[in-house]
Amino acid sequence: MPDQMVVESEDPAESRNYVTALARGLAVIKAFNGQPPQMTLSDVARVADLPRATVRRCLLTLQALGYARSSGRFFSLSPQVLTLAQAYLGSSVLPRVAQPFLERVSETIAESCSVSILHGEEVIYVARSTRKRMASLHRDVGTHLPAFCTSMGRVLLASLTPVELDTFLRTAKLVAFTPHTITAPDALRAVLAQVAREGICVVDQELEIDLRSLAVPIHNGQGRIVAALNVSTQAGRTSREHMLEVFLPVLRTAAADMRPLLIG
């Protein structure tokens, strides 16, 4: 199942093919996510949970390659890091196929919408419309959110095999973001079973107060679920009934129209 959770029989970190230096370099890059744009070596080491000496070598290597820069004691990422994301966006058919459909959906329903894939315990935005955004949401391509309490995440979790879902429910961090967040594994399993039956998911203020979202699966040409499509809006101005009556048919049509274009 492309871009979905993969259950390995062997710990990848213990494989002879595992390159520790590469893993640590990527961990250093990811350490800047959600942090101040400039951090000291100690800051990066703390966030990445790596030794200072290791982080220093990684940062100096990234700086030599143009992916990082320094100013006195402080390090920051350079714009060249964006080329790493562009490599995925340029090589994957999904973002290219999805973008015009997202813009069409946004034009029709006057709301922002997104496409995400499942990666581990999170969903990652791979395409997003640019028409209209809630002031509280700054979620561009590359944003990652917990899968268990987001509409796109639940659509994708509902498509996992029983073994994959058992692994997820046993290992995922189910943290309450609001008083409405479902964190009990058994309750979440029941919700996911309903999502699988109905082929849609509505999440009501579980990730953020006053945020309501609706998602549907995106199938590829072979019928496998490879991504999810959603629309998010303010719960105070858009009812659940309106989303199901007005937004849902538009999302389903877009997902169906994408399907024959997603080959492989």
> For residues 173 and 252, what is the distance between their CA atoms, to the nearest angstrom?
30
Task: Pick from 52-56, 57-61, 193-197 the range whose average pLDDT is largest.
Answer: 193-197
Q: CB within 8 A of 61, min separation 6: which ones?
A: 25
Residue 123's φ and ψ, nearest 5 degrees, are: -105, 145
Is residue 229 a contact partner of residue 216, using CB atoms and an 8 Å limit? Answer: yes
Comparison of pLDDT for 198 and 90, the residue scoring more: 198
The pLDDT value given to residue 189: 96
Q: What is the pTM of this model?
A: 0.74
pLDDT at 231 over 90: yes
**Which residue has 């008083």 as its token pair?**
179
Amino acid at 71: S
Taken in order 176, 180, 181, 187, is the CA torsion positive or negative? positive
Task: Catalogue the E-assigned strands of the chain.
Answer: 39-40, 68-71, 74-77, 113-119, 122-128, 144-146, 201-204, 211-219, 225-234
**Which residue has 């538009």 as its token pair?**
250
Instruction: List Cα–Cα distances, 208 to 65, 136, 150, 179, 203, in angstroms.
Output: 39, 9, 10, 10, 10
Q: In order of start, what are the domains of the chain with their CATH numbers?
A: 12-80 (1.10.10.10), 92-261 (3.30.450.40)
How does pLDDT run across 56-81, given as a tens digit for each residue? 999 999 999 988 999 889 999 888 88
How does pLDDT run across 163-179, given as a tens digit for each residue? 999 999 999 999 999 99
How does pLDDT run across 176-189, given as a tens digit for each residue? 999 999 999 999 99
The pLDDT value given to residue 89: 64
> For residues 128 and 140, what is the distance between their CA atoms, to the nearest angstrom?
7
How does pLDDT run across 1-48, given as a tens digit for each residue? 444 444 444 555 566 778 888 888 888 988 888 788 899 999 999 999
How does pLDDT run across 84-143, given as a tens digit for each residue? 777 766 667 888 899 999 999 999 998 989 999 998 899 999 898 866 555 445 567 778
